[in-house]
Amino acid sequence: MGSVGAKDVPVLIGEDGRRIDGRRADELRPMKITAGALHQADGSAFVEWGMNKVMAAVYGPREVHPRHLQENNKAIVQCRYNMAAFSVDERKRPGLDRRSQEISKVIAEALESVVFAEEYPRTSIDVYIEVLQANAGTRCAGVVAASVALADAGIPMVDLLPSVAVGKVAGHIVLDLKKEEDNFGEADMPMALVPQSGRLVLLQMEGRLSKAEFATALDMGVAGCKTIYGTMKQALRDRYNVTGSDPTEAGQ
Ligand code: ADP
């Protein structure tokens, strides 16, 4: 959240109700997902979402390093989220800072909750997320990329994991905040949804929302996740040249 004088705050919602990039309140930024973007990884995905560019690579299930983290009855999911030094306007100091560690942890926990970890005891599923270009919502882009990469690696999962941030900007609840909205807005709430069950496996909040605003934001985020889910499934169909109807859409 930025703490600057009012004169420095850009007009975030115009008189026509449109946002700084012309979107409506409930509109997502354009998204493109390429499943299997890397040859060396067991699974991978590249997500271009607005001005975000995020690559995810998955290795495993494989031997656990360090060894003492090994679990006898299930696989562990280890995640490293990293922002490239050139991913932001002012060069970011390279390496894992506290923010990257926190994001790595919440993403690993979200992914672990959808992977059938019991099928691979004493192994590690390693997920690397590299943010090449950042414009707010990179943890959500990371979750989307990582879950498509897990599917691409053939790792059994309950479901894919669409993710998006909702927030409050100039008094309006909006979907999928971009950088200026994140910096100068009143609230930012990233979430990740298991679409088939409706379970939220990631929910964070920076700023403040009233109870009613929270409910509106949640509904908007769930709807956004459902749209993103479609794009994720299509990316996997394109990768494996699958045509025809989608069995997971039956009865939805
Ligand atoms: P998210 O990317 O998930 O929204 P944050 O809310 O922490 O995570 O960050 C919002 C945005 O702020 C990032 O997407 C990025 O554009 C920018 N940002 C984050 N960390 C840095 C940094 N160290 N230097 C410059 N910009 C940053």
61 preceded by cis ω (within 30°)? yes
Out of 52, 88, 180, give the residue to mutate to test ligand 1, the one with the largest number of ligand atoms within 8 Å of its CB.
88
CA 165 to each of CA 89, 155, 222: distance values in angstroms, whole numbers, following the listed order: 21, 26, 10
For the segment 127-135, the average pLDDT, to the nearest whole number, is 98
pLDDT value, residue 4: 47
Q: Tell me how far apart the alpha carbons of residues 134 and 52 are, in angstroms, rounded to a whole number.
A: 5
CA–CA separation, 145 and 168 (whole Å) = 25
Three-state DSSP at 79 gives strand
Say what the pTM is: 0.94
Query: How far away, in angstroms, is 138 Cα from ligand 1 center?
Result: 7
Q: What's phi and psi for 117, nearest 5 deg?
A: -70, -30
The residue ranges of every structural domain in the chain are: 21-238
| Superfamily of domain 21-238 in the CATH hierarchy | GHMP Kinase, N-terminal domain (3.30.230.70)
- Give the Å distance between the CA of 230 and the centre of ligand 1: 26
Q: How far is CA 154 from CA 44, 60, 77, 182, 229, in A?
A: 11, 10, 15, 35, 18
Q: Which residue, judged by its Cα, is nearest atom 13 of ligand 1?
A: 136
pLDDT at 141 over 80: yes
- How far is residue 38's CA from residue 172's CA, in Å, rounded to a whole number? 39
Sheet of 76-83, strands arranged across:
31-35, 43-49, 52-62, 124-133, 76-83
Name which residue sits closest to atom 6 of ligand 1, judged by CA. Answer: 136
Quick: pLDDT tens for 151-207: 999 999 999 999 999 999 999 999 999 999 999 999 999 999 999 999 999 999 999
